[in-house]
A and B are shown apart, each in its own frame.
Chain A
Amino acid sequence: MSPVLDIQGLSVAYNRKGLALEDVHMHVPKGGIVALLGANGAGKTTLIRAVTGLLDLHQGHITAGQVRLSGQIVSGLPAHRLVRLGMGQVPEGRLVFKHLSVEENLRVGAAVLPRAQVQDGLDAVYHLFPRLLERRQQAAGWMSGGEQQMLALGRAMIAKPKLLLVDELSLGLAPLIVRDIYKQLLVIGETLGTAMLVVEQNANLALSFAQSAYLLKQGRVVLSGSAAEVAANPLMKSSYLGEAKVAGESTP
């Protein structure tokens, strides 16, 4: 059985400058939750862009390798096509449609569904996040950060993606709210069988929810394995805190 997401030897460059990603191999199994870790500038966001087809918007392009979604090669396809193939995304920084109401936001996300299924989708999101039901007529831009993140998540999951990419979900949110939203993420994974690739600055948090993890450093995968293995590896600490801080670590 082919994994939901399969990345083979992916290299990415911006503006023909140096490589932002180099020879990255990664896979996300069906229904699995995989954490993508790394310090600032390690290439996490670039990887997400390469997978979702948003690289062009940022003047980047794939120089080698390919991305497969459920076995089908999707690298090079435009972002909006990928959504129809089952790629869901919760972009970094929440990015709700400010002037649209909560329900309109969700309806935009549901536009890839057949019309008959839209109401079911809305109900499912409201069931998961009752707060959104309370606020369904309110303009999304005037909600709290946590509510906006719920909305961004709901807007992505309403299309019933096979793979959900979650970028920096915890950014600027209170830890308690982040935990709540992560728990709902697990519920989504269990009920819909959605596989997830979770990019997270807060490594401990991500590792407590994910089954496996990849650690990126300067555009390369330097560590991968089950969440517990990755958490235990000294390389984890060094890549976040820098080489000098970790005594006895040989430089790669």
Chain B
Amino acid sequence: MNTTNSQPPATNFSAWGWLIFWAGALAYLPTLLTERALFGMALSNTQLLNLGLTQINLMLISMLGALSLNYLTGCAGLISIGHAAFFATGAMAAAIFDNQLGWPFPLVLLACGLSGALVGTLAGLPSLRVRGLYFVLSTLAVHYVVAYVFLEYQFKFFDVVGIPYAAPRIGDFELNTPVRWYAFLLPLVVLVYLGLKASLQSREGLAMRAMRDHELAATSVGVDVRILRLKAFGLSSAIASVGGALFAYYLSNVTSEAFNISFAIQFIAMIIIGGMGSLPGSLVGAAIWLLLPSIIGGLSPQSNEDGGFIGKMLVENRAQLVQLIFSLLVIVFLIFAPDGVAGLARNLKNRIAAWRQRP
């Protein structure tokens, strides 16, 4: 049985203390990862968990996808496997408004968001009539439609190699190094996170979560679930679309294959690992999904000449091995923490609270 929430509220001091600590740590992270030294003390690759700033940046971009999908699936209760399509929409919109029309970067991002919202709202239209698995299938259809359009667009205006993206610039600040990207992406993710959090606390956000828990009951207390669904879809895909545009810019070249169905499913995996309906969980899920494989890779032996047959096989099939270990970890994790990291954290918090209350 849950205990009532009786733990003392965090004091202002400790809350601010943690905030300053994390802000400091995140600000120091690029220095740590580029100089590969902690305050002058050199660290080995293994000590740095085999991580580089590029992985961190890709993780930040994925966080936009995970946050927006969790908002849609975990908070509004709409399961979608069309998230790769919204990323692709953003990449395509960036190509149109930047490569072809030459708009400035901030405007391009805005246009990408709006295009995403438009496509997302259209993709959400079936939700007015169909429910559950049938709706999931309709998002799959959206995925293939967008993938087809992307392919046609790419071949008509570019070529097989893919669509090239020049490094974007905001005024004189050109996003041409990982550190600069980090300086741009981190505040953006924080902003999106805070925005979604505020939205969930608002009246509409509350109504949306009520709709997820029980559609009929929500309707019976005056929630217009149809409008709410479309809004959730619009907002979620706008964010995903901006993420897709940034993804394309960051890679500087994308093809239609980049946004395949497993690209969509990885976001679902992230929010399941992180915890359905939990925004912080989405961040953790994205971090685990993007960083853990390279951490596992870093822990395995670097080279093994004398390892015999097994050692040779391990080194030669390193990529597959990393995938295998990673998948096993995810499965084991989900068995023991079906509600993801967020559920685990909640349990831990309740246990600590119960332990503290012991006489």
* Interface set of A (CB-CB < 8 Å, partner B): 52, 54, 57, 78-80, 83-84, 89, 91, 95-100, 104-105, 107-109, 111-112, 134-135, 137-139, 141-142, 152, 155-156, 159
CB distance from A3 to the nearest CB of B (A): 22
A134 touches B216 (CB 8 A): no
Contacts of B223 in A (CB 8 A): 80, 108, 111
Q: Which residues of chain B from 1 to 33 have a CB within 8 Å of any chain A CB? A: 1-2, 4-5
B contact face: mostly helix, strand, loop, or mixed: helix
A52 touches B209 (CB 8 A): no
A99 touches B277 (CB 8 A): yes
Which of A54, A137, A139 is within 8 Å of B216, CB to CB? A54
Contacts of A137 in B (CB 8 A): 4-5
Which of B2, B207, B214, B277 is within 8 Å of A111, CB to CB? B207
B219 touches A57 (CB 8 A): yes
* Interface set of B (CB-CB < 8 Å, partner A): 1-2, 4-5, 203, 206-207, 209-210, 212-214, 216-225, 277
> Can you offer 17 A-B residue contacts whose CB atoms are under 8 A?
A83-B222, A91-B216, A95-B220, A96-B213, A97-B210, A99-B212, A100-B206, A105-B210, A107-B206, A111-B221, A111-B223, A135-B4, A138-B4, A141-B213, A142-B1, A159-B221, A159-B222
Tell me whether A97 and B217 are in contact in the complex, defined as CB-CB below 8 angstroms, given that A135-B4, A138-B2 are known contacts.
yes
Contacts of A134 in B (CB 8 A): 4
CB distance from A82 to the nearest CB of B (A): 8
Tell me whether A78 and B222 are in contact in the complex, defined as CB-CB below 8 angstroms, given that A111-B203, A137-B4, A139-B2 are known contacts.
no
CB distance from B271 to the nearest CB of A (A): 15
CB distance from B349 to the nearest CB of A (A): 13
Once bound together, how far apart are the Cα atoms of A80 and B215, in whole Å?
Answer: 12
A54 touches B219 (CB 8 A): yes
B219 touches A95 (CB 8 A): no
Once bound together, how far apart are the Cα atoms of A187 and B213, in whole Å?
Answer: 30
Contacts of B1 in A (CB 8 A): 142
Once bound together, how far apart are the Cα atoms of A141 and B219, in whole Å?
Answer: 18
- Residue of A80, A109, A112 most packed against chain B (CB within 10 A): A80
CB distance from B199 to the nearest CB of A (A): 15
Which of B4, B212, B217, B277 is within 8 Å of A95, CB to CB? B217
Closest residue to B2 on the A side, CB-wise? A142
Which of A91, A99, A100, A142 is within 8 Å of B220, CB to CB? A91
CB distance from A101 to the nearest CB of B (A): 9
Contacts of B213 in A (CB 8 A): 96-100, 141
Once bound together, how far apart are the Cα atoms of A101 and B209, in whole Å?
Answer: 11
Once bound together, how far apart are the Cα atoms of A112 and B218, in whole Å?
Answer: 12
B217 touches A80 (CB 8 A): no
Closest 5 CB pairs of A and B: A83-B222, A95-B217, A97-B213, A137-B5, A108-B210
B220 touches A79 (CB 8 A): yes
CB distance from B73 to the nearest CB of A (A): 14
Once bound together, how far apart are the Cα atoms of A47 and B206, in whole Å?
Answer: 29
Contacts of A139 in B (CB 8 A): 2
Once bound together, how far apart are the Cα atoms of A250 and B134, in whole Å?
Answer: 51
B207 touches A108 (CB 8 A): yes
